[in-house]
Amino acid sequence: MLIKKIKKASGVVKVPGDKSISHRAVMLGALADGITEISGFLQGADCLSTIDCFRNMGININVNGENVTVKGSGLNGLKAPEKMLYTGNSGTTTRLLCGILAGQNFDSSITGDASIQKRPMKRVTEPLSLMGAHIENEYCPLYIKGSPLHGIDYKMPVASAQVKTAVILAGLYAEGKTIIREAEKSRDHTELMLGAMGADISVNGLNITVNKTASLSAVKADVPGDISSAAFFMVLGLILPNSEITVTNVGVNPTRTGIIDVLQDMGANIKIENIRSSAGESVADITVRSSQLHSTVISGDIIPRLIDELPIIAVAAVFANGETVIKDAQELKVKETNRIRAVVDEFSKCGIDITETDDGMIINGGKSIHGADFKTYGDHRMAMSLTVLAQLADGQSTLDDSDCACVSYPSFFKDFYNLGN
């Protein structure tokens, strides 16, 4: 696909629902008693994979655009799937399912696409095994023998909300107490939603305690817009001259707003307005205006708060004066693709001064760049980041695969070009 260029961007855009919250609303809704009504559900391929998996375990789910109803069958109401569960490209579906399936009274198996089959699953199978789970393999396909579980006291070796959530979900089924100790705070949508549903869960700083839970009550889940999708328009509005973009109804849970902190630190003109609370999650409207950015250092405990935004933050760094250093981000290597390698290889094609490091990258920004024929590696966030990057490149750029954007943002290109003039 030829990446069309726009000279400036202005207007208001509402991005689709948050991917992490959409997944959790379906999963927890399936395990609750009663009907969970979800509005603002993300109809991206990943979340549709979650729906598909739960339908295969007997859950009645009705999808009507962004409105989804899940008829919960209780914590012990899932049925043994008749075939291998298929999670597509979705790491969240795969890892969270492990936590749910480990403690069932039936066996199951999970696999996904070529990317999923390369992503590490030991990070979930290891703590689950300590709880008594029987899961064969460290990569998909995984074979899970439903087993009685017991609580553990687990110090997380990686900052990962997927791992944390898998252990929490298993903890709902485990005898006794499960304690999870995070080294750095990762997204806490599971804790918030489970708390609202009446689970026996408490959070004390970086420590989460879950007790075996008898039942969950269905709640209304109003999914806010995904800040990870808003991020593309935030950076677009900042780097294009004479631009102003407002993204409405964006989830601004503090565990997700690292990108706002970093962009402000780089000199971005960003306004966060109309902050409100919706179904336990903070929501706001975000307005960005063209800004001259300068370099920064991104490291330490902010990384889990912006992990998915690093490719688009790297785009901001290309147009920021000076040397931006991203470190402590080795987790990028095990995303949908190795995002350190992918960003460095693709950005280099434009003449950008960028160096790969073991845990991140160094970008010398503020110089002119030229267009290129980009590869996305089937990674949705690469496709969308490269589209923003190409806007300020001299000459033409192409993408080998724009369809992969549908994993998290099916209407991305339509919304993008609606803002352009």
Which spans of this chain sit near ligand S3P (rule: CB under 6 A)? 20, 92, 160-162, 165, 187, 307-308, 331
The Cα angle at residue 115 between residues 156 and 88, in degrees rounded to 5: 95
Q: Which is nearer to ligand S3P, 308 or 346 (CB)?
A: 308
Minimum separation from the CB atom of position 2 to ligand S3P (A) = 29
User: What's the closest the beta carbon of residue 114 comes to ligand S3P, in angstroms?
Assistant: 18
Which residue lies nearer to ligand S3P by CB, 73 or 92?
Answer: 92
Q: At its nearest, how many Å lie between ligand S3P and the CB of residue 163?
A: 6
Cβ pair 296, 326 in contact under 8 A = no
What's the distance, Cα to Cα, between the start and end of the chain in Å? 20
Pick 108 or 165: Cβ nearer ligand S3P = 165
State in angstroms the smallest separation of the CB of 186 from ligand S3P: 6
Minimum distance between the CB of residue 240 and ligand S3P, rounded to whole angstroms?
Answer: 26
Axis-axis angle for helices 412-419, 227-239 (nearest 10): 30
Query: For 374, what's the count of Cα atoms within 13 Å in the CB-facing half-sphere?
Result: 32
Q: What's the token pair of residue 77?
A: 């109401």
Catalogue the E-assigned strands of 32-176.
33-39, 60-64, 67-73, 85-86, 108-111, 134-136, 142-145, 153-155
CB nearer to ligand S3P: give 73 or 257. Answer: 257
The two structure tokens encoding residue 134? 């029987």
Given the residues 226, 308, 379, 415, select the one marked as catalytic.
308
Q: What's at 392, amino acid-wise?
A: L
Instruction: Identify whether 308 is a catalytic site residue.
Output: yes
- Sheet with strand 269-278: strands edge to edge: 10-14, 244-251, 281-289, 269-278
Write down the least CB distance from residue 165 to ligand S3P, Å: 6
Nearer to ligand S3P, 178 or 391 (CB): 178
- Quick check: helix, strand or coil at residue 25? helix
User: Distance between CA atoms of 409 and 406, rounded to whole angstroms?
Assistant: 5
Question: What one-character-per-residue DSSP string does 176-216 give?
Answer: SEEEEE-SS----HHHHHHHHTT-SEEEETTEEEEE--S--
8 A C-beta contact, residue 141 and residue 108: no
54 or 319: whose CB is closer to ligand S3P? 54
Q: How far is the CB of 253 from ligand S3P (least distance, A)?
A: 12
CA 224, CA 54: separation in Å to the nearest integer? 22
Closest to ligand S3P by CB, 41 or 319? 41
Q: Identity (one letter) of the amino acid at 172?
A: L
Q: Residue 158 burial by CB count (10 A; 0-12/13-18/19+): exposed, middle or buried?
A: middle
Written as six digits, the tokens of 368 are 């002119």
Alpha-carbon gap, residue 125 to 188, rounded angstroms: 21
Minimum CB distance to ligand S3P, residue 199 (Å): 17
Q: Which is nearer to ligand S3P, 46 or 285 (CB)?
A: 46
Task: Locate 50 and state its tokens.
Answer: 């979650």
The answer to whether 379 touches 45, Cβ cutoff 8 Å, is no
Residues with a known catalytic role:
308
